[in-house]
Structure 1
Amino acid sequence: MLESLRQSLRETGHSFSLFMLSDLLTLICLMAGKVGLSWWIASHGGAKDLALYGACISIVILVLTPLLSPFADRLDKRQVIAWALLVKTLGVTLLAVAAQLHFYDIRLIIGLELLGAACLAMIIPASMSVAADVVPPGHLHQAFAMQKSAQAFGRTIGPALGGMALAVAGEAAALWLAVLAGLVAAGVTFYIPPMLRKAAGRPSLKQWWHDFQQGIVVRWRIPLERYWTSLSFLYIIFFAPATGMLVPLLIKHHGLSGGWLGVVEMGLSIGMMLGPLVVARRLNARFGRFHVNLLSIAGESVGIILAGVLQQPVLLSICFALVGISLSCFVLNGQTHRMLAVPENFRGRLMAVNMAIYESGSAIGATLAGIALLRLQVDQLYIAYGTIMGIMITGYMVLPGFKHFLSLSHDEVKDYYQRTYPSAFELK
């Protein structure tokens, strides 16, 4: 196995190996920081501050990503990632200092995290596309698989390390751990050999808005996409807070320590890693993608309901692992087919729509969850949200063409939308 890994690293090149290490450290920084920061807000500001924080960050990411992501194509990706990491780490350092001094102010936290969101709006697009710039074309598929594995590892150990630091020394320790990982990640990125700049147009929100409008038009003209997108938006309103802002509140409600927040987050990450690697392939072969997707929604629903019912910390982490497995299976089946069904030159436009739907749904979900917590306990809200998500299974069951679409092979589904609805892509 080690020899196979060495061979893969040789084939993809030294620069890509360093980028993978940078990706790994960046995710450790993000996940450890998320554990420490969410627990700090939950402990001092409660549901109101968490809802405000979640809504503000989602809205800013929605606006800044299309505005800043073109810098990844216009400049040296190494410089973009490294400098953005340094600026984000500076923001986390200030948060760590504030936590160390026991100075809590949600306005300061949101302000510094908005700076971090701006950095991520440049880091994420650059890191997603860097393989195509540094890896020989014949090894791109191998490089993408290796990068996903490194990212999955980072998402798994990040919460674990953050939770350990939180349990041993408090929120400040988890944030200082994030600072250390961020600084090392930036240093590794600076060490990568310079990359060639690509000619590109000036970054423009107007261009993104144009692409977004075209993506909306195309989706509206395709019946399956029209209803699938609408249903997904409603689903995210309940799913996003249940796996985000409400998690630290649930841990506190059950009287558990902050270290268990890291364990629960790790359970979710492990589930998301196991889904594509182990579960999805076997279930798809036995039941087919359509039934697996319905089963995945049921798994998410059951996991969320049980998280509201069960109080034992180990069982809570298992519940979130079930949610992670179910989510990754659904995304793997649905998103892969949807991307293949769209002509290649339209995929970027539909990705813009996906991002807008998720972030706007997350913002609305955070706001509604904050309002709901004025009347309900957080465990009751989990039971209610899980039940609503379960009811939505019926919506996916009756989506026009959904079952037939998922039954298609990868070869059959390629450009399926263009063949079936050619007029949908006739845009001015």
Structure 2
Amino acid sequence: MRLPTAMAPLRDRPFRLLFTGQAISLLGDGMAPVALAFAVLDATGSASDLGWVLAARSGAMVALLLVGGVIADRVSRRVVMVAADLTRVAAQAATAALVLTGTAQLWELLVLQATFGAAMALFYPALTGLVPATVRPEALQQANALRAIATSGGQTVGPALGGLVVATAGPGWALVADALGFAVDAYFLVRLPAIAVARTAGRFGRQLIEGWQAFTSRTWVWTVVVSASLGNMLFAPVMILGPVVAKQHLGGAVGWGIILAFFGIGSVAGGLLALRLRPAHPLRLGVLTVSLWSLPPLALAAGWPLWPVVTAGLVGGAGLAIFNVLWETTLQRSVPREVLSRVSSYDWFGSLVFQPVGQAIAGPVGGALGSPLTLFLSGAGVVVTCLPVLAVPSVRNLVSADPGSAASVPAEA
């Protein structure tokens, strides 16, 4: 595939605006994991406290995802996303102020990150539903691949920059950058023109049931989501115990930032590969590549030096990015637009529902078993939850849908 064809979605102004805002905000957001991790560790010295802060964010997100999906199918997805961005600006700016003034208390961080998570619950189902309306059907996979590259770019540059900012100026300033990124994204979303998308009307509960029926009627959807749910829970210790291991013998914030950055570089490479891929059976390939996600925790568990761990992150990031592009494109092409945000919300909900559990128990389990054994169980568990999904015929044999097959009668955005 020639580059002009791969970049075709950027010729469409709506997608170009959406992509630009996302790319900028993701850079700031890539700094946040490093900043938040070391803000909590510096304040309390407790990996368990970090786990609770991250669990508060993801727990609030999980709790409100289904609500976010229904809202995104009922009203303008663009308006929902702007409101979510502005909420995240407020949450991260307040967190930054507390960290910069040295007055942050654990309960304040819990409340603010829960608010941030609630905004995420509104944003992501709306985003999944909006993307297909911003590009031509035949360019949808390229659009998702470009989004994955932007996400990966944020994960590449953001953590490295975040590590440097944390090491030189402190974590508060990295959180300021995150807040500014969401403000920029809101600006570009406001500039987005009115887009024809499907809307639904009716009772909230009835719409929730319709989304559940659309979700459960597709075995390939809920099977992959169950696998992702367990995998995300088992991977959670990496983000809790990884900074602890880095602080002990991988160079602290700078070393952890490098590891996350190369995970992002791998994700960029995976996104570039996804621009060219045209698999007849997208989920078959996706499940195989996402199993590579197990490599970072296994490398950390083995006690390897920095650069072998970095290499594991590189390969794991590529595998995860390829899966995400193939999964989201398959979902957008195979699910009717009028229920897409609701099905996406069940996808997000199911995929993340146990992640707060993994985050909350990672510190205590790591303290009881030791970080190496906990991280080994994390990596091995990811493999065990991924590969058996290929035994499900509807996952293994699902054929890529024709572009535009999920199109429905449009309504004004």
Q: Provide the rounded CA distance (Å) in 1 between the counterparts of 2:215 and 2:129.
A: 24
Q: Per-residue deviation at 1:369?
A: 1.9
Using a 3 Å threshold, how does the CA distance of structure 1 residues 72 and 158 change in structure 2: closer, same or farther? farther
Using a 3 Å threshold, how does the CA distance of structure 1 residues 21 and 254 change in structure 2: closer, same or farther? same
Q: Provide the rounded CA distance (Å) in 2 between the counterparts of 1:342 and 1:199.
A: 12
Using a 3 Å threshold, how does the CA distance of structure 1 residues 204 and 24 change in structure 2: closer, same or farther? farther
Q: Provide the rounded CA distance (Å) in 2 between the counterparts of 1:277 and 1:67.
A: 33
Q: Per-residue deviation at 1:142?
A: 5.7
Q: Per-residue deviation at 1:322?
A: 1.9
1:89 corresponds to which residue? 89
Q: Per-residue deviation at 1:171?
A: 0.9
Is contact 2:198-2:337 (8 Å) kept?
A: no
2:357 corresponds to which residue? 364
Match of 2:400 among 395, 410, 423: 410
Is contact 1:82-1:189 (8 Å) kept?
A: yes
Using a 3 Å threshold, how does the CA distance of structure 1 residues 231 and 249 change in structure 2: closer, same or farther? same
2:408 corresponds to which residue? none
Answer yes or no: is 1:245 the counterpart of 2:266. Answer: no
Residue 262 of structure 2 aligns to which amino acid in structure 1?
Answer: G
Is contact 1:12-1:139 (8 Å) kept?
A: no
Q: Provide the rounded CA distance (Å) in 1 between the counterparts of 2:143 and 2:284.
A: 29
Q: Deviations over 1:78-119 (max 9, x none)?
A: 554344323321221111111112223121011112222222
1:277 corresponds to which residue? 272
Is contact 2:334-2:401 (8 Å) kept?
A: no
Q: TM-score, normalised by structure 2?
A: 0.79
Identity %: 20
Q: Within 5 Å, give how 1:99-110 maps onto structure 2.
A: 99-110=99-110
Q: Counterpart of 2:252 in 1: which secondary structure?
A: coil
Q: Deviations over 1:123-152 (max 9, x none)?
A: 333444444555567766665554444343
Q: Provide the rounded CA distance (Å) in 2 between the counterparts of 1:329 and 1:142.
A: 12
Match of 1:401 among 388, 393, 409: 393
Using a 3 Å threshold, how does the CA distance of structure 1 residues 35 and 343 change in structure 2: closer, same or farther? same
Is contact 2:152-2:268 (8 Å) kept?
A: yes
Using a 3 Å threshold, how does the CA distance of structure 1 residues 411 and 173 change in structure 2: closer, same or farther? closer
Q: Counterpart of 2:244 in 1: which secondary structure?
A: helix
Using a 3 Å threshold, how does the CA distance of structure 1 residues 215 and 49 change in structure 2: closer, same or farther? farther
Is contact 2:58-2:114 (8 Å) kept?
A: no
1:186 corresponds to which residue? 186
Using a 3 Å threshold, how does the CA distance of structure 1 residues 72 and 228 change in structure 2: closer, same or farther? closer
Q: Which has the larger radius of gyration?
A: 1
Moved more, 385-394 or 31-40: 385-394
Is contact 1:51-1:245 (8 Å) kept?
A: yes
2:12 corresponds to which residue? 12
Answer yes or no: is 1:35 the counterpart of 2:34. Answer: yes
1:301 corresponds to which residue? 294
Residue 218 of structure 1 aligns to which amino acid in structure 2?
Answer: S
Residue 24 of structure 1 aligns to which amino acid in structure 2?
Answer: A
2:50 corresponds to which residue? 50
Q: TM-score, normalised by structure 1?
A: 0.77
Q: Counterpart of 2:359 in 1: which secondary structure?
A: helix
1:263 corresponds to which residue? 258
Q: Deviations over 1:9-35 (max 9, x none)?
A: 88312x543332211122123222232
Q: Provide the rounded CA distance (Å) in 2 between the counterparts of 1:338 and 1:79.
A: 23
1:235 corresponds to which residue? 231
Q: Which runs of 5+ in 1 are unaligned?
A: 416-428
Moved more, 171-180 or 130-139: 130-139
Q: Provide the rounded CA distance (Å) in 2 between the counterparts of 1:345 and 1:130.
A: 11
Using a 3 Å threshold, how does the CA distance of structure 1 residues 235 and 118 change in structure 2: closer, same or farther? closer
Using a 3 Å threshold, how does the CA distance of structure 1 residues 361 and 275 change in structure 2: closer, same or farther? same
Q: Provide the rounded CA distance (Å) in 2 between the counterparts of 1:246 and 1:38.
A: 10
Q: Per-residue deviation at 1:62?
A: 1.6
2:311 corresponds to which residue? 318
Using a 3 Å threshold, how does the CA distance of structure 1 residues 252 and 376 change in structure 2: closer, same or farther? farther
Q: Deviations over 1:284-335 (max 9, x none)?
A: 79x99758844652x3334321122234223322222222123234445566
Kindly indicate whether structure 1 or structure 2 has the higher relative contact order, using CA contacts under 8 Å at least 6 residues apart.
2
Q: Provide the rounded CA distance (Å) in 1 between the counterparts of 2:141 and 2:328.
A: 18
Match of 2:346 among 324, 346, 353: 353
Q: Counterpart of 1:374 in 2: which secondary structure?
A: helix
Q: Counterpart of 2:217 in 1: which secondary structure?
A: helix
Using a 3 Å threshold, how does the CA distance of structure 1 residues 231 and 68 change in structure 2: closer, same or farther? closer
Q: Which runs of 5+ in 2 are unaligned?
A: 406-413
Q: Provide the rounded CA distance (Å) in 1 between the counterparts of 2:82 and 2:176.
A: 19
Q: Counterpart of 1:103 in 2: which secondary structure?
A: coil
2:371 corresponds to which residue? 378
Using a 3 Å threshold, how does the CA distance of structure 1 residues 279 and 209 change in structure 2: closer, same or farther? closer
Using a 3 Å threshold, how does the CA distance of structure 1 residues 204 and 385 change in structure 2: closer, same or farther? farther
Q: Provide the rounded CA distance (Å) in 1 between the counterparts of 2:117 and 2:201.
A: 21
Q: Counterpart of 2:354 in 1: which secondary structure?
A: helix
2:174 corresponds to which residue? 174
Is contact 1:16-1:134 (8 Å) kept?
A: yes
Q: Provide the rounded CA distance (Å) in 2 between the counterparts of 1:337 and 1:189.
A: 25
Q: Provide the rounded CA distance (Å) in 1 between the counterparts of 2:306 and 2:107.
A: 32
Is contact 2:48-2:363 (8 Å) kept?
A: yes
Q: Per-residue deviation at 1:37?
A: 1.0
Q: Provide the rounded CA distance (Å) in 1 between the counterparts of 2:141 and 2:293.
A: 30
2:409 corresponds to which residue? none
2:410 corresponds to which residue? none
CA RMSD of aligned residues (A): 4.1
